[in-house]
Amino acid sequence: MTKDKIGFIGVGLMGHGMAKNIIEAGYPLTVMGHRNRTPVEELIGRGATEAKTPKALAEASDIVFLCVTGSDQVMAVTQGEHGLAAAGKPLIIVDCSTSDPSVTTKLAASLAAEHITLIDAPLGRTPKDAWEGTLDVMVGGDPATIDRVRPIIETFSQRMIHTGPTGTGHTMKLLNNFLSLGYGALYAEALMLGEKSGLSAETFHSVISGGRMDCGFYQTYMNYVVGRDRNAHKFTLSNALKDTSYLNAFAQAQNAANPIATAVRNSYALAIGTGHGDDYVPMLSDIIAELNGLPPKS
């Protein structure tokens, strides 16, 4: 049986591991690089080919995976003279980015008129899981298309949940990130209050770890706080602000009051406003501590 030809745009922290698993499963793979050449060259070394534009990548592909920052970047690679749609051929696009659901549904409708099917398949877990093929994937789309892409998604995931029609995957991802990033903001404030009252982060961790409030996100967060592992949870504060901003826009579109989500967003806006956009989410704990007069940690 001939395997689908796969295109992949966005071989960064998550996408590199995903693309590696796709090519290891024997799928012909075409990638398009951006700023960082290292993962592109590594994938070429595994047998991938490189396209210089989204249009050229679409011409070489049956199914294209996107793992870019968000809706603005998805629109940029799908539209325009050199975009995916400009290839003028039937195509399946799988958006694994964390995007705005309202943009996703509108884009899916416009692409359908050009015989292109867009589904959303945002990701749960970490770059380590992407490399090891153990991601969680939330997929929104029609059942026939999902059946077509399932074998490819299974190369980099351990769990795949069909959430409903296109757009529901991105909605679920925003809710998932609201929970995790909300915890991130809570941990930062709790750790700061503990330290100001004489409780060390190590004592805090010894109480929470293994108890009912423990979880995987907590452990990677605290691997930075107490272990100072800068790479324990590689998700930037700028991406955290983007995702919480998407959630607030979504809530506004639903005419929903969401005071907690607004407060969570403002925690990350504070981090960005103080120049920490490229830092990772657990480093919010340092920012909140220093803003409250505690000495910087090494």
Q: What domains lie within the chain, and their CATH numbers?
A: 6-165 (3.40.50.720), 171-291 (1.10.1040.10)
Q: What is the CA radius of gyration of the chain?
A: 20
Residue 69 DSSP code: S
Let me know the angle formed at the C-alpha of 146 by 138 and 248, rounded to the nearest 5 degrees. 30
* Residues classed as catalytic: 173
What share of the chain has pLDDT > 90, as a percent?
Answer: 94
Q: CB of 288 within 8 A of CB of 195?
A: no
Report pLDDT digits (tens) over 102-123: 999 999 999 999 999 999 999 9
Measured CA to CA, the distance from residue 120 to residue 96 in angstroms comes to 6
Measured CA to CA, the distance from residue 115 to residue 171 in angstroms comes to 24
pLDDT at 36 over 90: no
Report pLDDT digits (tens) over 244-271: 999 999 999 899 999 999 999 999 999 9
Q: CB of 240 within 8 A of CB of 184?
A: yes
Report pLDDT for 122. 97
pLDDT at 1 over 80: no
The mean per-residue pLDDT over the stretch 183-199 comes to 98
Q: Please give the mean pLDDT across all residues of the chain.
A: 96
